[in-house]
Structure 1
Amino acid sequence: MTTDTAVAAAPAAAERPQTSPFDRLLALSRRLPPWWPLAVCVLLGTLAGLGYGAIRTPNYAATSYVVVNPERGADTATALGFAHAYGRVVTNAAVLADAQAATGIPANDLRNRVQAVTSPDAPMIEIVGSDARADKAASNANEVARALTAYANASATSTGVRLSVLSKAPTPTAPASPSIWIAGAVGACAGGLLGCLLLLVKPSGRRGSAAVAPAPAPLTAAQPAREATR
């Protein structure tokens, strides 16, 4: 009796369908709300943004100002023109050669840590220095401003203008790079955008599921006769 029961149960166990992990995961996703991809993408984007904001190196920025003063009867328009001209040569090798000796940074690296901005209506050059350290950022800006002033004043007799440092760059107290919370918000927005795209391309699951109308039954020989008598 026991042997017969085991033999009868064996085919039943063999005929039982085996579900794969993918099928179980697919069945679970069908029981979730339709907006679950959006929630997952927002969560992953937020975590990625917070992680990036926590591990990245902070970047500090300090700004010094150099003013162009006209001499020997030169007008303001001349000073403004030279301000734009000297603003383009801030990262020149002749200027950075003097600044790199004071900062201890090679000229190629210092060129990537300094940028100049000129004003369209004032003979002024804004020199922005950046670095992972706050004191080095201020030093980069101040030393480049000093080197630019010395480079320009060497030819002041021929240009008719003289440069001077209007304001030295103070040591910044906070990094210029976004905070960890801003990085998390950016990651959440990126994840939300990706989640919306996934919802747009996700199949609805109802396409092709419409019931097929059964084919009409074939007419028998008696049906035409009935139709004719009506």
Structure 2
Amino acid sequence: MTDTPKRQRRLSPAWVGRLPSWSLLAAGALVGGLLGGAYGELTPPKYTATSYVIVVPTGQAESGSALGFAQAYGRIATQLAVLTDARYGAGVSVRTLQRSVQAATSPDAPMVAVSATSSRPQRAKDMANAVSRSLTRQANAAKRSTHVELVQFSRAGKPTEPTSASTTVTALVGASAGGLLGGLVLLARPRRPLKDDEPAPAASVPGPAAAADVKGKR
């Protein structure tokens, strides 16, 4: 008694080409949604706290100089000298401050916004306030030469809601990306080959009206 070898079905481009069009889109959206939802569920939420400082000109400075100094202070707010002084008040390392703190300025107002992001709301608040205090101290140490001073405009409060994307949003983004990839696979898949007994599409033959029109043009 001889054993007959069993044929193993393998995934091939021809097999993919025989799948229904909707199945690729649905499978891509389903897998992408599951991955996006899992990412949102496993990733801890992030909280952001923001502190504001404002540049005020002294008696010897021009009113327009405050805006220029605000742009300069916004660039040095995340520099090593400021963060090294702020690490004691924030209770974290300088490397953590470098990853978590950002500064932004406005082209219309002499104000600097110092934002800190963390998975712990209290830590985000402490980092934002510590960096703004350190920036204010270093800026005011040179106010005799700059003729401007930095004043605390608004302290950062403890955030109550996360600023990171929710699980629903990450699932929707993943489903959209998965559906897009499924559509790209659908466009790239090979066409279904014709069978031996399947007639080839006939060439279009002009009808009587079209033939008369062509003869008239001649």
Please state how far the C-alpha of 1:19 moved relative to its aligned partner. Answer: 3.9
Gaps of 5+ in 1: 1-9, 214-230
Q: 2:87 maps to what in 1?
A: 100
- CA distances 1:140-181 after superposition (whole Å, capped 9, x unpaired): 101100110111111111110010110011111111110000
Distance 1:65 1:98 in 2: 18
If the length of structure 1 is used for normalisation, what is the TM-score? 0.78
Counterparts of residues 155-174 of structure 1 (less than 5 Å): 155-174=142-161
2:21 alignment partner, SS class: coil
Conserved 8 A contact 1:83-1:123: yes
The runs of at least 4 consecutive aligned structure 1 residues that moved more than 4 Å come to 26-30, 207-213
Distance 1:45 1:164 in 2: 48
Change in Cα spacing, 1:29 to 1:208, as seen in structure 2 (3 Å) is closer
Q: 1:154 maps to what in 2?
A: 141
More helix by share: 1
Q: Which has the larger radius of gyration?
A: 1
Q: 2:214 maps to what in 1?
A: none
If the length of structure 2 is used for normalisation, what is the TM-score? 0.82
- CA distances 1:161-202 after superposition (whole Å, capped 9, x unpaired): 010110011111111110000000000010010000111011
- CA distances 1:197-218 after superposition (whole Å, capped 9, x unpaired): 11101122135767589xxxxx
Conserved 8 A contact 1:35-1:199: no
Distance 1:86 1:167 in 2: 16
CA-atom RMSD, angstroms? Answer: 2.6
Q: 2:212 maps to what in 1?
A: none
Question: Higher relative contact order by CA 8 Å / sep ≥ 6: 1 or 2?
Answer: 2
- CA distances 1:101-160 after superposition (whole Å, capped 9, x unpaired): 111212122121111001001100011111110110011101100110111111111110
Q: State the AA in 2 paired with 1:187.
A: G
1:97 alignment partner, SS class: helix
Q: Are 2:23 and 1:20 equivalent residues in the alignment?
A: no
Please state how far the C-alpha of 1:55 moved relative to its aligned partner. Answer: 0.3
* Deviates further, 162-171 or 100-109: 100-109
Q: State the AA in 2 paired with 1:20.
A: Q
* Deviates further, 117-126 or 197-206: 197-206
Q: How many residues of Structure 1 are paired with residues of Structure 2 in the alignment?
A: 198
Conserved 8 A contact 1:76-1:123: no
Conserved 8 A contact 2:16-2:189: no
Change in Cα spacing, 1:97 to 1:22, as seen in structure 2 (3 Å) is closer
Q: 1:111 maps to what in 2?
A: 98
Counterparts of residues 200-211 of structure 1 (less than 5 Å): 200-206=187-193
Q: 1:126 maps to what in 2?
A: 113
Change in Cα spacing, 1:71 to 1:198, as seen in structure 2 (3 Å) is same
